[in-house]
Structure 1
Amino acid sequence: MRIGPVHRDRERYRDLLLLADEQWDMVERYLHRGEMFAAYAEDETRTKAGSALVPDRALGCMIVTDEGIDERGLHIAEVKSLAVDPTHQRSGIGRALLEFAARHATREYDILRVGTGDSPLTVPFYEACGFTRSHVLPNFFIENYDHPIVEAGVQLKDMVILERRL
């Protein structure tokens, strides 16, 4: 597997990004604000796009944003829309993307942060990847989404913020 930056045509990853954040106008808030990375199979076929050859299909992707300095004086990077193609989930791609983000962010940041619904699927995944709970944003999903967000049969209300020291 190869992980690399996505410099253009980020909208072509829409289907993947919507797996992690199912309301497109929420994704658009940070789509071009941070760095985007995608994971590809080493043998993925490529198509000519302008003057470059681009892989046909990503296995997963994420956006990493600069969230500035927090009240502790720590520089925060945040992973947004970490998503893995459903046919490749549970194969280490999500973990590999997070490890890539941590290595990449170490140069400039103190903390790598993620925000997710209080779900029995995602919170344990992030904890297994070395993140610990920091705080909760109450009613985030109720107040910011135009429809109920349900994961693993649970309606998400609060956003759990997890952090990993770099």
Structure 2
Amino acid sequence: MDIILLTENKKQQLDLLLLADESESMIDRYLERGELFVLDDNGVKAVCVVTDEGDGVCELKNIAVTPKSQRQGYGKRLIKHLLFYYSEKYNQMIVGTGDVPSSVEFYKSCGFEYSHRIENFFTDNYDHQMFEDGVLLKDMVYLKREI
């Protein structure tokens, strides 16, 4: 298994990034300014984008695992790598996600804790309704972890 920092042709991973963020225009807002990591284990299994938010904080903007590879630990392995990779550059990592129990619990299992919420984020920033696990996404829940 290799985790590679991709510095060119980041849009090649768009199809996978769209699994975690359904809006290409939203992805465009952070993809070029962020660092894109690809987890390869006999083929691409997962990708993520991390941005510098200033004041010692980085944000995990997008993490996506291929449908066939989900629930096999690839997301956790990628986050573990990020926490080590950024440990000397940042003090804290944050992540925003839909207010869905499975997503929030995933990040909590990776050591994140509740930080705050942005009400109506999904309804105000996306041109269509979005659902995850059958739940209409409305608020963005932010979690944080010291690194």
Normalised TM-score (structure 2): 0.97
Q: Deviations over 1:128-162 (max 9, x none)?
A: 11000000011000000000110111101000000
**Higher Cα radius of gyration:** 1
What aligned pairs does 1:41-52 form with structure 2 within 5 A after superposition? Answer: 41=41, 44=42
* Partner secondary structure for residue 106 of structure 1: coil
Q: Deviations over 1:42-62 (max 9, x none)?
A: xx3xxxxxxxxxxxx411000
**Correspondent of 1:127 among 101, 104, 108:** 108
Structure 1 position 62 matched with structure 2 position 48: yes
What aligned pairs does 1:92-103 form with structure 2 within 5 A after superposition? Answer: 92-103=73-84
* Partner secondary structure for residue 86 of structure 2: helix
Q: C-alpha distance in 1, partners of 2:114/2:120? A: 17
Q: Deviations over 1:74-117 (max 9, x none)?
A: x1011111000010000110001111111111111010110000
Question: What residue in structure 2 maps to residue 80 of structure 1?
Answer: 61
Structure 1 position 143 matched with structure 2 position 129: no
Q: C-alpha distance in 1, partners of 2:85/2:60? A: 12
Question: What residue in structure 2 maps to residue 23 of structure 1?
Answer: 23
Counterpart of 1:142 in structure 2: which amino acid?
T
> Which structure 2 residue ranges, 5 or more long, are not aligned?
none
Q: C-alpha distance in 1, partners of 2:44/2:118? A: 31
Q: Deviations over 1:22-66 (max 9, x none)?
A: 11100000011111100001xx3xxxxxxxxxxxx4110001100
Q: How many residues align?
A: 147
Quick one: percent identity of the two aligned structures? 44
Normalised TM-score (structure 1): 0.86
Q: CA RMSD in A?
A: 0.8
* Partner secondary structure for residue 94 of structure 1: helix
Counterpart of 1:137 in structure 2: which amino acid?
I
